[in-house]
Chains A and B, each alone.
Chain A
Amino acid sequence: MELLLGFMVLAIPALLSWPLGRYMAYVLDNNTRSGMNPGKITGPIGGEITKKPQNWKEYSWSMMLVNILMFAVVTIILAFQQGLPLNPDGKTALEASLIFNTVSSFVTNTNLQHYSGEVFMSYFSQLFGLMWLQFISAATGIACLAALARGLAGKTMMGNFFRDFTNATLLILLPLSLILAIILMAGGVPMTFEGAAVAKTLEGATQTIARGPVAAMVAIKQLGTNGGGYFGPNSAHPFENPSAFTNIVECMAIIIIPMASVWMFGFITGRKKDAAVIFSVMMVLLVIKVLIAMNLEHAPSAAFAGLPVTSGPNLEGKELRFGQGAGALWAAVTTATSNGSVNCMHDSLNPLTGLIPLAGMWLNVVFGGVGVGLINMFIFIIVGVFICGMMVGRTPEYFAKKVETHEMKLALLALLVHPLLILGGTALFASTPWGASTVLNSGAHGFTEIMYEFTSAAANNGSGFEGLGDNTVSWNIATGIVMLVGRYVPIILPLAIAGSLAAKKTVPETSGTLKTDTVLFASIILGSVVFIGALLFLPVAVLGPVADHLSSVMH
């Protein structure tokens, strides 16, 4: 039954991703079809600035410009929410470092939430600050992947950011969110602008039940690999995720656009077989993670080890409505992509299961964030191509372009950012009171709490391991910076690589060329992802979840 659930949640989006990817390429790539082009609908928006072709530098600047602008606007909204409309419950201004953290978090597609939405945010802030950013950040990822694909297809002019961004928002994310929101509303998710409901309980007590425009926000939070829920408990909350039906739909919504992004890449580059190879590598990794997570959560909670109680599956921190299987499945999927929404407490997963979400975020390429997952994967591919490409006795080539010093410099830099943020941040916070005094558990488990927070921030995931008093100034600022660096550097550097490759002479492909659309190459991608990931994070994995597991077993 559980396996069937897992199969369904992975297979249905995989099937749907193909037509969706085709549609995304159709919308973004103005060259794919002549005549009828849905991209033309948005043509009049923005005027001349959206028509000029941009090279990688101009494209990156435009991307940064839009993101900085949005950052500023939403900062103002959150800072002055008490004076803005749609605030029926009279929410007050937020603390400065929390605003910085929250805006960074939403603009970077992370949605690490150091606050509880229903407690701190007005309806206006939720809808026109946070929900709006969930569109912006997802559209940014899709646009940048389209640009990368165009660069790899050999074009030095990689499109126009403003246009891609507009098309991605209006023609991809908005219609999909609308459809999903309607399905969720049919499934019982509320969508209202009335203030919190006040109810009398059976015992006669008065209960204030927070509600609001939930369906709209949940839709984009799932689709855009955002994860920033309306309520603190995210999709474990009955209003965000009322039933088994909505649970399955939401889980599938997490992964559909990241999957479709791969096909979009294949259509834009004209290399569908390459896309299929990348897709299968991601799929294999995802299936492995899901199976391990579901299997490990089948084991009893570590807390019960040695106690004279009937042992069943680990139900600690689970929504009993969904069961441990759906929890583990969601945990694996939400961290493989950079979504970060949750339907169970990751802190309460069995220690080794906790390794699965961590590994997902360390690699951050198993479909990954909308658009950016594949951009991250590109870096692993380039490194794999370089090292293995030499072994065929030629200067390494990718998509008929030579990979040389300049590209490797940029690729290694991009590769280093992720471990630098995670390991550097964890080392700093674990050895200082900034982190050590905020953990609720001691030893390896506490260490994992700190490491998880930095991992989640650096991977722009946003899921929380929790068990951490993270709404402190130091956490807010540190993770805010980590999210910003971890977002933009790994987007801009690959664009620079693609720009550099595009400007090079095309090398004809012969039987002496390393083929990038074969099973052999799939194993190279798989190898470089697993190897690099393992070499970078094995020590902290051992000190965190593995040690945690061993110490609970030793008891």
Chain B
Amino acid sequence: MNDTITTNGTSAKITRRHTRTASIFEKKLVLKASARALGSLDPRAMVKNPVMFVTEAGALLTTLVTISDNFSGRGNFTYNLSVTLVLWLTVLFSNFAEALAEARGKAQADSLKNVRKKTSARKILDGKEIMTSSDELRENDVVIVSAGENIPGDGEVIKGAAMIDESAITGESAPVLREAGSDQAGVVGGTRVLSDTILVKITASSGNSFLDRMIALVEGAVRQKTPNELALTVTLSGLTLAFLLVTGSLWPIGKYFNIDIPVPTLVALLVCLIPTTIGALLSAIGLAGMNRALSANVLAKSGKAVELAGDVDTLLLDKTGTITIGNRQANCYRPLPGITTEHLAAIAMQASAGDGTPEGKSIVKLGEQLLGTTAPEETADTVIPFTAQSRLSGVDRQDGTSLRKGAPDAIRNFIIRQGGIVPEELQLLVEEVAKKGMTPIIVAEGNEALGVVGLADILKPGIFERFTRLRAMGLRIVMVTGDNPLTAAAIAREAGVDDYIAEARPEDKLGYIRKEQQKGRLVAMMGDGTNDAPALAQADIGVAMNSGTQAAKEAGNMVDLDSDPTKLVEVIEIGKQLLMTRGALTTFSIANDISKYFAIIPAMFILALPGLNILNIMHLSTPQSAILSALIFNAVIIPALIPIAIKGVKYRPFGADVILRKNLLVYGVGGILMPFAGIKLIDMVLALTGLF
């Protein structure tokens, strides 16, 4: 595994946490959202939200009735006016919730946008360098960027290598290496080159990058309803229709009893019954979900992808950097009989010259400790670099001997090709090392095997507990590693994963994903290299690392700015929380209706059927105050629940039954009981005013 991903430090996480816990009702955002709420009362815009459209229609009707009753002297003007005002307030609160979520998205997007200020760019055209502006750049343009300059747009390094400061995007201060031809060739506009000069091919025209797309998504500019949101909208519309029927039929039924139910009262009952709470907060919940993804530095290409993440069944995690701490360290030299440890170490050090990975370096370091020498900086020999395909590295000496070190099967093939024989003892050594959970690396000199180097893996702290929780949620965790099956099995056991793919090549990942999908499972994976692109495209959720190649980023449906391999888990949690929040607030909204019936029904018919006062179990002071109290409760619960809509309901990594029981208790049973108290309280306040 050739892995130079910088594991993220704490700073990025801290920035993220900070944005997440930032005050929901920040003054600046509230003002902005209030203005927008007033401006978006246009029924043509409201029709997308059937529940609130009905509410607005009701408000309009009540307004007309209030005016005409005022002139004809019928009805109670104060009461009519109050109902009208509260109805309009309900609509405004709903618009406010959406506008606030949008404003928060905008604020977050702005901080990212600032990174992409207009800069000058040196474009290479027909071999000549011309100065242009970053927003003039088009796809496939090539620019040259030197130390101290900002990269003008998203692209891929096509020549050279450079250290780059990506802190503006990721919050991570340590510079990262971006190198042409490697899996870490991706660069982001707005980041800063610290050393060297690179040629960058621009991969997205200005205004068309992943970041631009994400900004549009969180700002709500290109919002499309996600599948579950659509299904919920249909459900809420159906319930609204049902309650239209219930209230609509009361008017003629009232005639039978010789009761003329005032229109404002009927509308009040209707609006109290239809699921306005969830109707008002639905788009805010969706926007906030996107926003949470952005807070986690994940760019999703669509809202659908974030929602789908909650359904993931199988998680393909790379061992290195996710399950184990970054890099393996050479831990021991085990020579074959007849070979000295010193000789093995010396050859291993030379063969590692072509391996710049931390593993390669650790082999050299262990050798240096053992031999008390330092490896030469330069070598005249031909260096054979490590690749994921060959899985070995080494040097070809000028005298014709080839030194190699690498994965057991790769070296065995090499020895056989060279006409050598693989001694039986070697297999025993390999297995002995592997069973300890170490990765065996075989060292060969010419066609002769010398022995084994053991690379030890260190598990990330707390990873076992984390996996236990994920598995309780029904996720299957699959570890992907280049290790041999024995080592993989040992680490898999230690980390507590369900399955592993050992000696994994990119096509193995693709095959595994297909196999899982055939069983109906939804698969998520993370990848960076061009090799990963087919698997990223095949996976239902493919998260590409921002440091990865353009091909990988195009193939996935999300890009992680931090290039943090544990990010998948967060993405899944965001998806789950999104659905939970919708479910919880829908349940709450419908559960509220019981208390509203007890407030409104007796109030409605008390004049004709005085006995109904028995049902006034809250002892609300007057019929009018009862109806108004229910309606006011119905309106103010919307802003009161904005924090839950935006932050999401409390997320707990447990099995479905436990989560459901807790949520049902809080939002179902709580939703039934809470409004009784709320309505009574409002009624007491109204009674104090003496108006009703």
Contact = CB atoms under 8 A, between A and B. Distances in A.
A547 B520 contact: no
Given A419-B245, A512-B475, A543-B605, A394 B255 contact: no
B166 interface: no
Given A391-B659, A542-B615, A543-B257, A512 B474 contact: yes
Contacts of A393: 310, 473, 575-577, 579-580, 651, 659
Contacts of B591: 531
A426 B660 CA distance: 39
A413 interface: yes
Interface stretch (B20-28, B235-243, B326-334): B235-243
A428 B251 CA distance: 10
Interface string B249-277: 11111011100000000000000010000
Contact of A391 (B238, B313, B583): B583
B215 interface: no
Contacts of B311: 394-395
Nearest to B613: A550
B230 interface: yes
Contacts of A391: 579-580, 583-584, 587, 659-660, 663-664, 667
Nearest to B228: A395
A539 B579 contact: no
B235 A383 contact: yes
B612 interface: yes
Interface stretch (A126-134, A142-150, A228-236, A514-522): A514-522
Contact of A427 (B253, B273, B610): B253
A376 to B, nearest CB: 15
Nearest to B652: A393
A390 B580 contact: yes
B421 interface: no
Interface in B22-46: none
A511 B471 CA distance: 8
Contacts of B475: 510, 512
A454 to B, nearest CB: 11
Contacts of A386: 231-232, 235
Nearest to B598: A538
B580 A510 contact: no
Contacts of B249: 423-424, 426-427, 540
A550 B612 contact: yes
Contacts of A505: 520
Residue among A390, A411, A430, A524 with max Cβ neighbours from chain B (10 Å): A390
Interface stretch (A173-181, A266-274, A401-409, A464-472): A401-409
A63 to B, nearest CB: 25
B580 A430 contact: no
A470 B81 CA distance: 44
Nearest to A527: B668
A408 B235 contact: yes
A411 B668 CA distance: 22
Contacts of B655: 511-512
Nearest to B662: A391
Contacts of B64: none
Contact of A542 (B231, B594, B605): B605
Contacts of B55: none
A508 interface: yes
A546 B590 CA distance: 24
B246 interface: yes
B674 interface: no
Contact of B313 (A409, A510, A550): A510
A508 B519 contact: yes
Contact of B521 (A508, A520, A543, A551): A508
Nearest to B594: A534
Dominant SS at the B interface?
helix
A124 to B, nearest CB: 42
B657 interface: yes
Given A387-B587, A393-B659, A447 B253 contact: yes
Interface in B428-472: 471-472
B319 interface: no
* Range of interface residues on A (Cβ < 8 Å): 35 or more
B641 to A, nearest CB: 15
A547 B611 contact: yes
B242 A536 contact: yes
A550 B253 contact: no
A116 interface: no
Contacts of A431: 252-253, 255-256
Contact of B230 (A405, A428, A536, A542): A405
Interface string A362-373: 000000000000
A423 B586 contact: no
Best-surrounded residue of A387, A403, A431, A444 (most CB of chain B within 10 A): A387
A534 B241 CA distance: 16
A538 B235 contact: no
Contacts of A197: none
B476 interface: yes
A171 interface: no
A386 B232 CA distance: 8
Contacts of A524: 664
Interface in B524-578: 575-577
A525 to B, nearest CB: 13
Contacts of B610: 554
Nearest to A447: B256
Interface in B270-300: 273
Given A408-B238, A427-B252, A518 B228 contact: no
A394 B584 CA distance: 13
Contacts of B246: 419, 423, 535-536, 539
A383 B612 CA distance: 32
B614 interface: yes
A430 B238 CA distance: 25
A520 B474 contact: no
B609 interface: yes
Interface of B: 227-228, 230-232, 234-235, 237-239, 241-243, 245-246, 248-253, 255-257, 273, 307, 310-311, 313, 471-476, 519-522, 575-577, 579-580, 582-584, 586-587, 590-591, 593-594, 597, 601, 605, 609-612, 614-615, 651, 655-657, 659-661, 663-664, 667-668
Top 6 A-B pairs ranked by shortest CB distance? Answer: A512-B474, A412-B238, A390-B583, A550-B611, A510-B474, A393-B576
Given A387-B587, A391-B580, A431-B255, 12 more contacts: A390-B582, A390-B586, A391-B587, A412-B237, A412-B239, A428-B252, A430-B256, A520-B657, A527-B668, A531-B591, A535-B597, A547-B612
14 contacts: A386-B232, A391-B579, A391-B660, A394-B656, A426-B249, A427-B253, A428-B252, A431-B253, A444-B257, A444-B609, A508-B521, A513-B656, A547-B612, A554-B611
